[in-house]
Structure 1
Amino acid sequence: MRVAQNVSALDLDEYQQAARQVLRHPLITASYPDRTTLPLVRKWASQLRVDLAETLGYTLVSNGDTVRLRRVQDTLDATHPAHTRARKHFDRRRYAYLVLALSVLGRAGTQIALSELADAVAAEAGRVDGLGMDTERKPDRDAFVDAVAWLETRGALRMADGSAVDWVNDPEHAEALYDIDREITGAVYAPTRVLQHLNSVTDLLGDAASAGPAQGINAERRRTGRRARRLALEQPVVYYADVDEGLRGQLRSPALAEDLERLTGLPLERRAEGVALINTGGRLTDITFPGTGTVAQAALLLCARIAGYLTFSLHRVEKLPAATATERLADASARIDAALPARSGVTALLADAADAAATDSAVQPSAAAPPGDALPSGDVVAEATKAAGREATYPFLSDSWLRAELTKLIEEFGSGMSERQIADPAGLLDDALNLLSNVGFVARTDGGALILPLLARYRGVTAQLKETIK
């Protein structure tokens, strides 16, 4: 079935705008992300519901003044954090307060005072080892109000009277009163699986609907196609060397490009190393690159230095394999699972049953996937190939080389950068490399970074930074 099958050529642009809004904002309300988005999405909800389910395996739920997209996650992704009032990433304490606030609001009436919500969250937080919340401490009040503000931005809470800022600064003499929108609070957190029965964070991944008995080769092909589309849509770049042969074939399929381009209005670019959905105008991303600010500027200039260096020195640079997607997932899930509480009796029984089933299936014969085809590379930093029997390797640059180049960039362009950030070159380098890692340009490793093919897109970049007024 063709994506947007019942959408005319004249309406296609508006339909794609609605699709991008749903994909970028999985929760849409009358006020979030703005007042024009909900009417637009509701107009196309029926077609979007069909296309998102068939193309990506996603479920679109529309109730009253709330639209909720339930995604299928195939990997752990730390690049979509919640933000504080000061646009900083939520830390673990703020996430915990947010979840506890939702729990309290689920048992509340139609209104709640900020101090009442704070006391209830503090009582719940006190039962969690290592968390706690003391309303006498301003840092705890700040963290709590950041969680409340996140809910308020989405319309789950609406200020009826008072001021949250005044309460943070003087809780003895200030107060705030909120109206509770129960429809939105219910839509914010609606897990598709019973969390008490999970043995690992990886149990949240994958399509639960496809976890049943095998349904034939055509059903498996559809599931693989949906996963390939999700990867191309959700990841800045998908390298062929990082996926198995089945996904590689789907990523190369002309149908995948046609489906995603017709759904989002964005072109899919193919290179020898992989595919990337080109996000022109920043219409479908929460990380814009190139971007503004010292970190983004330093990262872009560092890209140009790296690409220029590898143009003439690639033959002298050591090449190393990067961790595979499976290895990265195993490492991240192990760190997260280490914090899980002791399993309940029911969970232990379910885990034992799952382990037994896995053992039984492990002894069954299976067809081995054929080795990957050779992938010739045309980019200067792209000697990463996945030929039969040969592991993909990438140029390795050490932390010392990267620090030296960043120091030169600060000397040349520092007058246009933030004084606070250039005063900490190590921190600036760490932030720049994290940004480049998030957009698929580098893979961080012990002692340095592996340079991935997409970085070559920004070779030859030049910059002129405006001098800041000191």
Structure 2
Amino acid sequence: MTVLADVLDSQQEEERQRAARALLRHPLLTPARPDPALFALVRRHAAWLADWFAREAGWSLQMDSGVARLRKTPAGHDDGTRGAAVKTRFSRRRYVLTCLALAVLERAESQITLGRLAERILRLATDPQLTEAGVTFTLESAEERSDLVTVARLLLEIGVLAQVAGDEQAFVAGSGDALYDVDRRVLSALLIARRGPSTVAGAGFADRLRAITEDVQPDTEDGRNRVLRHAVTRRLLDDPVVYYADLTEEERTYLDRQRGPLLRRIQQATGLVPEVRAEGIALVDPTGEATDLAMPEEGTDGHATLLVAEYLAAAPAEGRPVPLDELHRHLAAMAQRHRTHWRKTAAEPGAERELTARALHRLTALGLVRMSGEQVTALPAIARYRYAEPTIVGKKDA
């Protein structure tokens, strides 16, 4: 009986860890996407997950038969690498169109066509405040129609829309339309805010963003410690690397005192393995289930990113800013060297700029480099890509 109880406890712990990693990777789950088995697992352990995330990170979990939504509030709002993307990163206009589309869907029936969605967005886009901000949308150009299709595909990907019939490209070409079901449960779970955005007025963008996401805690010692625990845990769970230099003095002091118990609780709940170094901490995901951005990765862009990381890690002076032009020249040379197995366009004149931009975006998102204008500075964690010359051990030939 004791052995059976131990096996069941171990199985339950593994299931909870998988469910926690699923929510970290996909904060919004539905029975249909991205994996019905993950949704069922999260639902089975919803009470435990809700209690753990609320206590350790201050994140609430909404769970019902149609959606699981972990309301992840980031520790900071200055990371520009986590934007929406459907094959390509979103532009400013695409973000605006996404907000307008959600506003339309909030008032729409249970089904809507892409054409009707476009018509209603066009009416909302005439708002004088948008015009003053330099945002226009007329659907007259192919680029604008492409932006609308990209927004529709994002909403399909996250489950707000479900395709019933038709095709987006037919709409763009003017030869047809697309029909969607609207999932109101997913739609209502998208916005994460402590306060309604309409209740915040008269401040700049950064202040408004902070106002709708900040946590209100009692001004007591316990309340202050709770704020620090949530801030540090959010960084550890959400950021690929947490550098001590990026923490406030209070956060660093709290982490120094509570590092052992804090990391044990996280590892036990998620299965992520802490890697502690002199400069900071990273949580390693041995399963890859919570990893949304991998490195190394197959393909031309993945190989180019690895080569840039290796080049920056081998820079003569650690922390020396490297000019962007230097990286362009390096990748141009690498494109010629690897032209037989990279995509054909990678060796064309000027292609190294796009390759470099993609590589640096990934390295920045992974906490391996920091950009400042036309300068790139390698961060300590990039040292794992610094390769030494091999040492051959064995008997010499006679």
CA distance in 1, matches of 2:107, 2:332: 54
Which of 184, 200, 217 is residue 186 of structure 2 equivalent to? Answer: 184
Structure 2 stretches lacking a partner, 5+ long: 1-7, 390-398
Other-structure match for 2:396:
none
Which of 74, 80, 83 is residue 81 of structure 1 equivalent to? Answer: 83
Other-structure match for 2:224:
220
Do 1:157 and 1:180's aligned partners in 2 also have CA atoms closer than 8 Å? yes
Do 1:57 and 1:207's aligned partners in 2 also have CA atoms closer than 8 Å? no
Other-structure match for 1:425:
352
1:49-98 Cα deviation digits (max 9, x unpaired): 000000111010113311111122221222222223xx112222222111
| Residue 382 (structure 2) pairs with residue 439 (structure 1) | no
| Residue 219 (structure 2) pairs with residue 294 (structure 1) | no
* 1:247-266 paired onto structure 2 within 5 Å: 247-252=251-256, 253-266=259-272
| Residue 167 (structure 2) pairs with residue 163 (structure 1) | yes
Other-structure match for 1:147:
151
SS in 1 for 2:322: strand
The one-letter code sitting in structure 2 at the alignment partner of 1:100 is L
Q: Give the aligned CA root-mean-square deviation in angstroms.
A: 2.4
Do 2:217 and 2:227's aligned partners in 1 also have CA atoms closer than 8 Å? no
SS in 2 for 1:269: strand
Do 1:72 and 1:206's aligned partners in 2 also have CA atoms closer than 8 Å? no
| Residue 365 (structure 2) pairs with residue 451 (structure 1) | no
1:327-356 Cα deviation digits (max 9, x unpaired): xxxxxxxxxxxxxxxxxxxxxxxxxxxxxx
CA distance in 2, matches of 1:208, 1:191: 5
Which of 333, 338, 341 is residue 416 of structure 1 equivalent to? Answer: 341
| Residue 66 (structure 2) pairs with residue 65 (structure 1) | yes
SS in 2 for 1:72: coil
Report the Cα offset of residue 122 of structure 1.
1.1
| Residue 91 (structure 2) pairs with residue 91 (structure 1) | yes
CA distance in 1, matches of 2:374, 2:168: 45
CA distance in 2, matches of 1:69, 1:80: 16
Report the Cα offset of residue 208 of structure 1.
5.7
SS in 1 for 2:81: coil
CA distance in 1, matches of 2:159, 2:107: 18
Other-structure match for 1:246:
250
Report the Cα offset of residue 242 of structure 1.
1.9
| Residue 288 (structure 2) pairs with residue 402 (structure 1) | no
Other-structure match for 1:31:
32
Do 1:138 and 1:169's aligned partners in 2 also have CA atoms closer than 8 Å? no
The one-letter code sitting in structure 2 at the alignment partner of 1:289 is M
Which of 160, 173, 176 is residue 174 of structure 1 equivalent to? Answer: 176
* Greater CA drift, 43-52 or 430-439: 430-439
Do 1:80 and 1:286's aligned partners in 2 also have CA atoms closer than 8 Å? no
Q: Quickly say closer, same or farther: Cα 1:410–1:260, change in 2 above 3 A.
A: same
Q: Quickly say closer, same or farther: Cα 1:124–1:411, change in 2 above 3 A.
A: same
| Residue 196 (structure 2) pairs with residue 271 (structure 1) | no
Report the Cα offset of residue 219 of structure 1.
2.4
* Greater CA drift, 253-262 or 432-441: 432-441
Q: Quickly say closer, same or farther: Cα 1:27–1:425, change in 2 above 3 A.
A: same
Which of 240, 256, 264 is residue 236 of structure 1 equivalent to? Answer: 240
Report the Cα offset of residue 309 of structure 1.
4.1
Do 1:304 and 1:461's aligned partners in 2 also have CA atoms closer than 8 Å? no
Do 1:97 and 1:121's aligned partners in 2 also have CA atoms closer than 8 Å? yes
Do 2:73 and 2:192's aligned partners in 1 also have CA atoms closer than 8 Å? no
Q: Quickly say closer, same or farther: Cα 1:262–1:206, change in 2 above 3 A.
A: farther
Q: Quickly say closer, same or farther: Cα 1:401–1:175, change in 2 above 3 A.
A: closer
SS in 1 for 2:139: coil
Report the Cα offset of residue 421 of structure 1.
3.2
Other-structure match for 2:104:
104
Do 1:299 and 1:432's aligned partners in 2 also have CA atoms closer than 8 Å? yes
CA distance in 2, matches of 1:207, 1:116: 31
Other-structure match for 2:55:
54
Do 1:399 and 1:447's aligned partners in 2 also have CA atoms closer than 8 Å? yes
Report the Cα offset of residue 211 of structure 1.
3.1
Report the Cα offset of residue 209 of structure 1.
6.9
Q: Quickly say closer, same or farther: Cα 1:202–1:288, change in 2 above 3 A.
A: farther
Report the Cα offset of residue 218 of structure 1.
2.7
Do 2:165 and 2:179's aligned partners in 1 also have CA atoms closer than 8 Å? yes
CA distance in 2, matches of 1:207, 1:126: 26
Q: Quickly say closer, same or farther: Cα 1:207–1:23, change in 2 above 3 A.
A: farther
Report the Cα offset of residue 399 of structure 1.
3.2
Do 1:406 and 1:429's aligned partners in 2 also have CA atoms closer than 8 Å? yes
Report the Cα offset of residue 203 of structure 1.
4.0
CA distance in 1, matches of 2:333, 2:143: 38
SS in 2 for 1:177: strand
CA distance in 2, matches of 1:23, 1:399: 33
Percent identity for Structure 1 against Structure 2: 30
Give TM-score scaled by structure 1 length: 0.73
Q: Quickly say closer, same or farther: Cα 1:410–1:36, change in 2 above 3 A.
A: same
CA distance in 1, matches of 2:330, 2:136: 43
Give TM-score scaled by structure 2 length: 0.85
Q: Quickly say closer, same or farther: Cα 1:404–1:158, change in 2 above 3 A.
A: closer
CA distance in 2, matches of 1:398, 1:47: 49
1:397-421 Cα deviation digits (max 9, x unpaired): 3334434433432333233222323
CA distance in 2, matches of 1:293, 1:16: 31
Report the Cα offset of residue 301 of structure 1.
1.6
Report the Cα offset of residue 161 of structure 1.
3.0
The one-letter code sitting in structure 2 at the alignment partner of 1:181 is D
Q: Quickly say closer, same or farther: Cα 1:395–1:38, change in 2 above 3 A.
A: same
CA distance in 2, matches of 1:432, 1:208: 31
CA distance in 2, matches of 1:293, 1:81: 22
SS in 2 for 1:416: coil
Other-structure match for 1:307:
313
